[in-house]
């Protein structure tokens, strides 16, 4: 019996209908679930791309002392930079004026000029030059002046060295605070592992990573603290040494001016054959 063409096409049409129905269902499911997949990928990317600020906030209360230490470190560094400059220690114009007075052996004028100047050199000269002894023609009482300079240095350097020393203290304490936070965080992670028996490795890794943030933060605070401690201490020592040198030059200038004839007499003009 010969089947009609319509009956021969029915199985083919049925298969095509089933195929297109399945295709439409797949597209519908894909389109419906695509936003959720994209959102999940975006969330994963956000988790992977956590900033340092996010880690600091997640670290909790252990970051508070480190943040306070960093603020104190910045404050001391800025304050020391303001204090440790040439204008506050040995300004050029003051040295020039004092040198002019001492070259003419006007010691009282030099003392008055230094007394009216708030710089380190001005206060040093005002404290030491009163020991100048014009009756001692050998060295004008230089030893007494040097002793007065040493006493002034001991009594006035404490304030500067204390402020610089705080940077060294912060540089030593900050890594210890960071390490303490890390140890406590690690203890919490292992306590969680002991309580649950089999904890999620990603959860443990996250806890351990947050614990390590405190160590990193401690080092971030400590490294610049130690650097600026040595840098500013060396700068202070150099400024003080310059002031000592300036006082020595003032004394030399007065001695040379008062004994110019004797000094020149020791230097022959020449020899005659």
Read off the pLDDT of residues 57-91 as tens digits, 9 standing for 90 and up: 666 677 888 889 999 999 999 999 999 999 999 99
Tokens standing for residue 14: 């049925």
Residue 2 binned pLDDT confidence (cut-offs 50, 70, 90): very low
User: What pLDDT sits at residue 44?
Assistant: 52
Residues 104 and 35: their CA atoms lie apart, in Å, by: 91
Query: Does 25 share its domain with 128?
Result: no
Query: Does 142 share its domain with 32?
Result: no
Tokens standing for residue 172: 């030593």
CB atoms within 10 A of CB 165: 14
CA-based torsion, 254, 256, 257, 259: positive or negative: positive
Residue 271 lies in a domain: no
Domains identified in the chain, total number:
2
Query: Does 158 share its domain with 198?
Result: yes
> What count of residues does the chain have?
273
Residue 183 lies in a domain: yes
Tell which residue, 144, 154, 131, 114, has the closest CA to residue 246. Answer: 114
User: What pLDDT sits at residue 217?
Assistant: 87
Query: Does 113 share its domain with 14?
Result: no
Query: Does 137 share its domain with 243?
Result: yes
pTM here?
0.71
User: What pLDDT sits at residue 15?
Assistant: 47
Residue 193 lies in a domain: yes
Q: Is the pLDDT of residue 172 over 60?
A: yes
Query: Does 99 share its domain with 30?
Result: no
Residue 2 lies in a domain: no
Residue 93 binned pLDDT confidence (cut-offs 50, 70, 90): very high
Residue 269 lies in a domain: no
Residues 241 and 237: their CA atoms lie apart, in Å, by: 6
Q: What is the 3-state secondary structure (H, E, C) of the chain?
A: CCCCHHHHHHHHHHHHHHHHHHHHHHHHHHHHHHHHHHHHHHHHHHHHCCCHHHHHHHHHHHHHHHHHHHHHHHHHHHHHHHHCCHHHHCCHHHHHHHHHHHHCCCHHHHHHHHHCCCCHHHHHHHHHHHHCCCCCCCCCCHHHHHHHHHHHHHHHHHHHHHHHHHHHHHHHHHHHHHHHHHHHHHHHHHHHHHHHCCCCHHHHHHHHHHHHHHHHHHHHHHHHHHHHHHHHHHHHHHHHHHHHHHHHHHHHHHHHHHCHHHHHHCCCCCCCC
Q: Is the pLDDT of residue 42 over 60?
A: no
Query: Does 84 share its domain with 204?
Result: yes
- Enclosing domain of residue 149: 50-264
Residue 190 lies in a domain: yes
User: What pLDDT sits at residue 79?
Assistant: 96
Query: Does 181 share its domain with 256?
Result: yes
Tokens standing for residue 251: 């004394």
Segment 202-258, tens digit of pLDDT: 666 666 767 788 888 899 999 999 999 999 999 999 999 999 999 999 998 888 887
Q: Is the pLDDT of residue 32 over 50?
A: no
- Region class of 270: left (phi > 0), else alpha (psi between -120 and 50), else beta: left
């Amino acid at each position: 019996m010969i089947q009609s063409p319509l009956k021969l096409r029915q199985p083919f049409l049925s298969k095509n209908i089933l195929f297109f129905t399945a295709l439409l269902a797949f597209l519908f499911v894909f389109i419906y679930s695509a936003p959720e997949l994209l959102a999940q990928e975006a969330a994963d990317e956000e988790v992977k791309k956590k900033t340092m600020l996010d880690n600091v906030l997640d670290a909790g209360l252990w970051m508070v002392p480190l943040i306070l230490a960093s603020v104190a470190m910045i404050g001391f560094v800025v304050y020391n930079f303001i204090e440790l400059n040439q204008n506050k220690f040995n300004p050029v114009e003051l040295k020039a004026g004092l040198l002019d007075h001492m070259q003419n052996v006007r010691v009282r004028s030099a003392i008055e000029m230094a007394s009216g100047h708030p710089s380190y050199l001005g206060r040093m000269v005002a404290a030491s030059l009163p020991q100048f002894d014009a009756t001692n023609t050998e060295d004008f009482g230089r030893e007494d002046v040097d002793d007065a300079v040493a006493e002034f240095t001991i009594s006035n350097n404490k304030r500067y060295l204390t402020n610089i020393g705080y940077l060294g203290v912060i540089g030593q304490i900050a890594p210890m605070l960071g390490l303490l936070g890390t140890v406590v965080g690690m203890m919490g992670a292992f306590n969680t592992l002991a309580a649950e028996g089999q904890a999620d490795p990603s959860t443990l890794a996250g806890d351990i990573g947050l614990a390590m943030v405190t160590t990193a933060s401690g080092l971030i605070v400590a490294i610049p603290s130690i650097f600026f401690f040595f840098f500013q201490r060396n700068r202070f020592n150099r400024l003080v040494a310059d002031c000592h040198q300036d006082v020595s030059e003032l004394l030399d200038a007065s001695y040379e001016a008062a004994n110019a004839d004797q000094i020149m007499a020791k230097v022959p003009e020449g020899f005659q054959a």
